[in-house]
Amino acid sequence: MNDQVERPVYMDHAATTFMKPEVVAAMVPYLSEYFGNPSSLYRFSREPREGIEAARRQVAVAIGATPQEIFFTAGGTEADNWAIKGVALANRARGNHIVTSAIEHHAVLHTCEWLEKQGFSVTYLPVDGFGRVDPGDVEAAITDATILVSVMTANNEIGTVQPVAEIGRVAHDHGVLFHTDAVQAIGAVPIDVDVMNVDLLSLSGHKFYGPKGTGALYIRRGTRIETLIHGGGQEQRRRAGTENVPGIVGLGRAIELATADIAGHNRRIAAMRDRLVRGVLDAIPDARLNGHPTERLANNANFSFRYVEGESILLLLDGRGIAASTGSACSSGSLDPSHVLLAIGLSHEEAHGSLRLTLGDANTEDDVDYILEVLPEVIGRLRDISPLTPPSPGAPEAE
Amino acid sequence: MYTDRVIEEFTNPQNVGELTDADGFGEVGSPSCGDIMRIYLKIEDDRITDARFRTFGCAAAIASSSVATRMILGMTLSEAWSLSNAEVLDALGGLPEPKVHCSLLAPDAIRVAINDYRVRRGLEPWERKSCSWGGDCASCPKKS
């Protein structure tokens, strides 16, 4: 195996993306000559301030909002924390109940769990076998005390896209605010906050070829929300701290690029992804695709391979230059495998044997070919070691 | 996160397989926990003359299975019985802290297999301590 070809193939774009050269180029002046504090009055502040406002317009255009409704944060996690804690604290006189789903990112789930300790009550809605939330379940969960519904636009592990517009309508029919974590969806799902009935939306720069440590929260005008980060008067006095100017400028350029041609981008990526999925399922027995057959992010493939464990798969793939991800507990340091895979009804064993491949803009058909060559070998080697592997039907005595 | 030693042992594990005429067999773990080890021992004159394993689990579990089966070759049963988790860890050059518990699998499986051999021979099984950690209690991976 050591003398075999090895080539670097990055297929973990749901974890993070590289920065596009255009994004880096847009940021460079703000890392050097345009260093001024945007809040100051002198001329050194003008370019940084204009850079931030241009980025705000770019984000607003990308999601159908107005620039005054865009607030920059230090990432998707902060945006989720702000949306949920901010709405909970500002509306506690009206009620203490939040509705969310069992498959949210930990930035949402752990925030909700913290709020439970503060006296809030949270309903974690189940999902179907494909990972979809039923808007009818949202409606049934809403009570007089409900102040917020938070359901992600698309799931980071299995790629399932939620019926966000319907869920938003249900929330609004009951006078409840609706937040969506769109961190994985930007550039893959067309977003219009009005059409989708969204009051708050979280996004993160490094998931769409922008810089890490950057994000934004969309807050519909008139939404009652507390401030999370107190200090100076930045971001309309709602999010303190001197702005990450180069990061914000990079995020703006990145979202502009990512949303310029979503349909074309999805066609190209989905064609490669579909060939990958077919190839893997054809070549490897006792494998399944996790998530929805059609309502899923164009770049997401999530498999379970029986009889083997995900961290072992990742390490053998890494040995051949391939970067991927797993929902196995062994890769996370916790005892339980992915909450998302368990929520769609997988057994622990199936969840331990999961592999996520998420494609991106630099992947090629050659990358798909290489994975289709290496992955069956890797699974085969681990199955040769595993005590769970059933004897193959072509065993020697049968021949 | 893993040392090169662990990656090497995991990538090229030794003694993978089964012994159809094994004198002792042991299985520990469960699929829901994410790891299972089966071990097969060939025993002659109170010494282990062959050992094979099959393991479902992470790289740490597979690497410690491989290294432990090599370590016990040629050992007497009482020597193999006292193989500690800490010795397996040493042979691997250490494991990342969250992975240390994975290396408990191999010494446990070896003890189960030794007792299987003893029972088959009509001997009393040796008493398994509830703890197979060979280091001091302060460094026990199960303490946390």
Residue of A nearest to B66 (CA): A385
Do A198 and A218 touch, CB atoms closer than 8 A? yes
State the nearest Cα–Cα gap between A374 and chain B, in angstroms.
Answer: 14
Q: What dihedral angle (degrees, nearest 10) is formed by the CA atoms of A123, A124, A125, A129?
A: -170
B112, two tokens: 């189960």
Is B127 within the bounds of a domain?
A: yes
Asked if A330 and B57 count as a contact pair (C-beta separation under 8 A), the reply is yes
Residue A283 identity (one-letter amino acid): A
- Interface check for A387 against chain B (CB to CB < 8 A): the answer is yes
Sheet holding B47-56, edge to edge: B24-30, B35-44, B47-56
- CB A235, CB A245: distance < 8 Å: no
> What would the two tokens of residue A375 be?
């992955």
Res B112 pLDDT > 60: yes
pTM reported for the whole predicted model: 0.92
The overall average pLDDT reported for chain A is 95
Residue A100 has pLDDT above 80, yes or no: yes
Q: Is A393 on the interface with B (CB under 8 A)?
A: no
Does A112 qualify as catalytic in the annotation? Answer: no
End-to-end alpha carbon distance in chain A: 28
A156 annotated ligand binder: yes
Given this model, what pLDDT does residue A308 score? Answer: 96
- Give chain B's mean pLDDT: 89
Cα A126 to chain center, whole Å? 19
Exposure class string for B41-57: b at 16+ Cβ within 10 A, else e: bbbeeeebebbbbbbbb
- Mean pLDDT to the nearest integer, A145-151: 98
**Considering only CB atoms, which chain B residues are within 8 Å of A315?**
2, 7, 10-11, 59
In angstroms, what separates the C-alpha of B61 from chain A's closest C-alpha?
9
Contact in structure between B78 and B89 (CB atoms under 8 Å): no
Is A2's pLDDT higher than 80? Answer: no
Q: Are B56 and A308 in contact (CB under 8 A)?
A: yes
Judged by CB atoms closer than 8 Å, whether chains meet at B55 and A385 is answered as yes
Tell me: pLDDT of A64 over 90.
Answer: yes
Model ipTM value = 0.89
**Which CATH topology does A21-258 take?**
Aspartate Aminotransferase; domain 2 (3.40.640)
Alpha carbon distance A316, A375 (integer Å):
9
pLDDT at A397: 42
Strands (DSSP E) contained in B23-140 are 24-30, 35-44, 47-56
CA distance B24 to chain A (A): 16
Which 3 state secondary structure label does DSSP give A234?
A: helix
With cut-offs at 50, 70 and 90, classify the pLDDT of residue B138.
Answer: low
Residue of B nearest to A353 (CA): B34
Full 3-state SS string of A251-301: HHHHHHHHCCCHHHHHHHHHHHHHHHHHHHHHHCCCEEECCCCCCECCCEE
Beta bridge partners of A201: A180, A218
Which of A315, A352, A387 is opposite residue B34, by nearest beta carbon?
Answer: A352
* pLDDT of amino acid A181: 98
Whether residue B56 and residue A347 make contact (CB cut-off 8 A), yes or no, is no
Mutation pick from A332, A341, A347, A352 vs chain B, by most beta carbons of B within 10 Å, is A352
The domain ranges of chain A are 9-17+261-385, 21-258
Active site residues of B: 33, 102
Q: Residue B33 sits in which domain range?
A: 4-139
- Give domain status of residue B144, yes or no: no
In sign, the C-alpha dihedral spanning A97, A103, A108, A114 is: positive
Over range A171-198, report the average pLDDT. 98
CA distance B68 to chain A (A): 15
Give every CB contact of residue A19 below 8 A, 6+ residues apart in sequence.
Answer: A209, A210, A211, A250, A254
Measured CA to CA in angstroms, residue A35 lies from A50, A51, A76 at distances of 12, 11, 25
Residue A153 DSSP class: S
Instruction: Pick B36's closest partner by Cβ from A319, A328, A388.
Output: A388
* pLDDT given at position A177: 98
Give the closest of A319, A330, A388 to B58, CB-based.
A330
**Is pLDDT at B77 greater than 60 in this prediction?**
yes
First to last CA, chain B: 20
List, for residues A282-315, the tens digit of each pLDDT value. Answer: 999 999 999 999 999 999 999 999 999 999 999 9
Mean pLDDT of B2-16: 95
Q: pLDDT, tens digit, for every residue of A315-348?
A: 999 999 999 999 987 665 566 799 999 999 999 9
Contacts with B27 from chain A: Cβ below 8 Å: 387
What average pLDDT does the segment A65-83 reach?
98
Q: Which CATH superfamily is domain A9-17+261-385 in?
A: Aspartate Aminotransferase, domain 1 (3.90.1150.10)
Whether A315 contacts chain B with CB within 8 A? yes
The residue among A356, A342, A268 whose CA lies nearest residue A310 is A356
CATH number at residue B83: 3.90.1010.10
Got the DSSP string for A32-96? TT--S-TTSSSGGGHHHHHHHHHHHHHHHHHHT--GGGEEEESSHHHHHHHHHHHHHHHTTTT--
Provide the number of structural domains found in chain B: 1
DSSP state of A129: T
Which residues does B110 contact at the CB level (< 8 Å), separation at least 6?
B26, B39, B41, B68, B72, B80, B81, B83
Residue of A nearest to B32 (CA): A348
Of these residues, A61, A240, A330, A342, which one is catalytic?
A330
CA distance A311 to A238: 42
Q: Which CA distances in Å does A251 have to A165, A207, A331, B85?
A: 25, 10, 30, 49
Long-range contacts of A1-4 (CB under 8 A, 24+ apart): A1/A319, A1/A377, A1/B11, A4/A320
- Please give the structure tokens belonging to residue A347: 């057994």
